[in-house]
């Protein structure tokens, strides 16, 4: 009797193993039917033999605010370098490092403290992205967010900053952003007594006066969001006065991925609408699901959001800077950091990827014979799951090794024979899961 029960149990396990893929397909088809009215499910196709050119790695920007700024990288250099940042942005450079003082002869500059942070940024492999903020006490009318007593001195501060980092230190490609969130810090406006356009104008004059420097970029305004009043009054002013503008920047903290694209569409009405702005880059210099520390920023939602926004920004913006590196807003050691680690493994050549859905987005790339695709099932409501068929097309018949990494879970490896040109993998994706598939010849 006991042997009979064991035999039946064994047969049941085998049957379940054989039937499970079919059950998942049936369940997925049922879900496709039920959700058809409110969304589209994904069926990802990766064309391994169709390279589309360089992959725009828009996620390779990190930002740090005033939270422990002098030591924000201490002990984290290796971990930050591991995500291969292209740029690291900092603000508060004039009010936290004692850069500018005054004596009987005029302004005096001391770069020692700030240089230590800049050197640590460079040790991670990143280029400094400097927000020219806030007003040095030696210049300010009152507090650090007030105008300067002498606008020409503000221009001189910017000039000397560029000459030091892009000249004396010889750093190529530094970005200089005029102020940080001027609409919030200082209540700067388009017009009136605290007109941001004056702040930018004199900064641009200082940049123009900088000599013996390497290539650099100047832009702004780095507002808390993208506001029509700022767009409609800033761009005409730049155009009328023929002022240098290499990039246009703003911040976006929002769970809704669509808002990021909406912002870009608004900016494009000006940037793409006039030849003078044809080379202006669009950069979101701070971004996260929420502006408050903790919450979704520190959960799987934040990781899925980062991948989804990165996919949304590709070919639309130069970069999106994840806020922040460390401190109470810091991402190191949290799911967003792990998402950056997975994104950093993607190769340099973008592969054709089709079949994205309303929730699932995908990015595919190739490097050194390894095909990688990263998937995210982003749902801030935390309710949508689906089984995603992922097909690798255009393969050479061979034996392959497929590694599957689920963020927060681990990696599994399977040996798969592909007698034809296609190999398919079904990926069960829970809400806000992130999965990396890596395929290579065995």
Per-residue confidence (pLDDT) for residue 69, from 0 to 100: 96
pLDDT for the residue 16: 36
434 within 8 A of 407, measured Cβ to Cβ: yes
Q: What is the DSSP secondary structure assignment for residue 165, as one 8-state letter?
A: I
Beta carbons within 8 Å of 20's beta carbon, 6+ residues apart: none
At 250, is the secondary structure helix, strand, or coil?
strand
Q: How many CA atoms lie within 13 A of 277 on its CB side?
A: 21
What pLDDT is stored for residue 26 in this prediction?
Answer: 53
Q: What is the pLDDT of residue 17?
A: 37
Question: Do residues 88 and 123 touch, judged by C-beta distance below 8 A?
Answer: no
State the pTM of this model.
0.91
Give the CA dihedral 21, 22, 27, 28, nearest 10 degrees: 70
User: How far are the Cα atoms of 83, 295, 352, 364, 375 from residue 349, in angstroms, in the given order?
Assistant: 18, 35, 10, 9, 17
pLDDT for 38: 75
| Strand order, beta sheet including 349-354 | 410-418, 398-406, 434-441, 370-377, 360-367, 349-354, 44-54, 386-393, 423-429
Residue 419: how many other CB atoms lie within 10 Å: 9
Neighbours of 283 (CB within 10 A): 26
Q: Which residues of the chain have pLDDT under 50?
A: 1-25, 27, 31-34, 37
The reported pLDDT for the residue numbered 354 is 98
Q: Which residues contact 363 (CB under 8 A, 6 or more apart)?
A: 55, 307, 310, 311, 314, 343, 346, 350, 353, 373, 374
Question: Which structure tokens are listed for 75?
Answer: 């002990």
Report all structural domains of the chain as residue ranges with CATH numbers, in order of start: 25-54+350-441 (2.60.40.1500), 61-345 (3.20.20.80)
Q: Please tell me whether residue 32 adopts helix, strand or coil conformation.
A: helix
Cα 247 to its chain centre, rounded Å, is 16
Rounded Cα distance, 232 and 223, in Å: 14
CA distance 375 to 394: 20
In eight-state DSSP terms, residue 230 is: H
**CB atoms closer than 10 angstroms to residue 101:** 12
Please, are residues 329 and 335 in contact by the beta-carbon 8 Å criterion? no
Helix H or strand E segment including 121 = helix 112-123
Per-residue pLDDT at 40: 97
């Amino acid at each position: 009797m006991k042997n009979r029960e064991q035999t039946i149990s064994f047969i049941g396990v085998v049957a379940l193993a054989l039937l499970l893929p079919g059950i998942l397909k049936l369940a997925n088809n049922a879900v496709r039917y039920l959700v058809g009215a409110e969304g589209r499910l994904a069926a990802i196709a990766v064309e391994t033999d169709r390279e589309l050119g360089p992959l725009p790695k828009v996620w390779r920007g990190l930002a740090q605010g005033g939270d422990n700024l002098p030591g924000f990288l201490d002990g984290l250099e290796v971990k930050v370098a591991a995500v291969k940042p292209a740029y690291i942005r900092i603000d508060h450079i004039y009010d936290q490092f004692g850069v500018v003082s005054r004596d009987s002869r005029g302004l005096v500059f001391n770069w020692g403290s700030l240089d230590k942070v800049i050197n640590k940024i460079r040790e991670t492999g990143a280029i400094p992205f400097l927000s020219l903020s806030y007003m040095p006490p030696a210049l300010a009318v009152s507090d650090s967010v007030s105008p300067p007593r002498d606008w020409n001195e503000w221009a001189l501060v910017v000039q000397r900053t560029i000459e030091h980092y892009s000249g004396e230190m010889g750093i190529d490609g530094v970005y200089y952003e005029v102020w940080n969130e001027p609409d919030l810090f200082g209540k700067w406006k388009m017009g009136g007594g605290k007109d941001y356009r004056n702040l930018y104008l004199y900064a641009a004059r200082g940049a123009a006066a900088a000599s013996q420097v390497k290539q650099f970029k100047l832009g702004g305004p780095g507002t808390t969001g993208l506001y029509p009043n700022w767009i409609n009054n800033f761009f005409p002013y730049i155009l009328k006065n023929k002022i240098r503008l290499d990039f246009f920047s703003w911040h976006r903290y929002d769970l809704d991925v669509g808002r990021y694209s909406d912002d870009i569409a608004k900016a494009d009405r000006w940037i793409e609408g006039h030849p003078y702005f044809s080379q202006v880059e669009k950069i979101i210099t701070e971004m996260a699901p929420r502006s408050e520390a903790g919450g979704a920023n520190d959960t799987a939602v934040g990781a899925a959001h980062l991948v989804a926004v990165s996919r949304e920004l590709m070919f639309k913006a130069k970069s999106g800077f994840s806020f922040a590196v460390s401190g109470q807003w810091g991402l190191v050691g949290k799911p967003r950091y792990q998402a950056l680690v997975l994104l950093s493994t993607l190769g340099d050549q973008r592969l054709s990827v089709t079949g994205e859905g309303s929730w699932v987005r995908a990015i595919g790339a190739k490097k050194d014979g390894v095909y990688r695709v990263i998937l995210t099932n982003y749902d801030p409501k935390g309710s949508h799951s689906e089984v995603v068929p992922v097909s690798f097309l255009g393969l050479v018949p061979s034996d392959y090794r497929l590694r599957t990494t689920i963020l927060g879970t681990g990696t599994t490896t399977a040996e798969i024979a592909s007698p034809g040109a296609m190999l398919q993998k079904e990926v069960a994706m829970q809400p806000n899961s992130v999965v990396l598939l890596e395929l290579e010849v065995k």
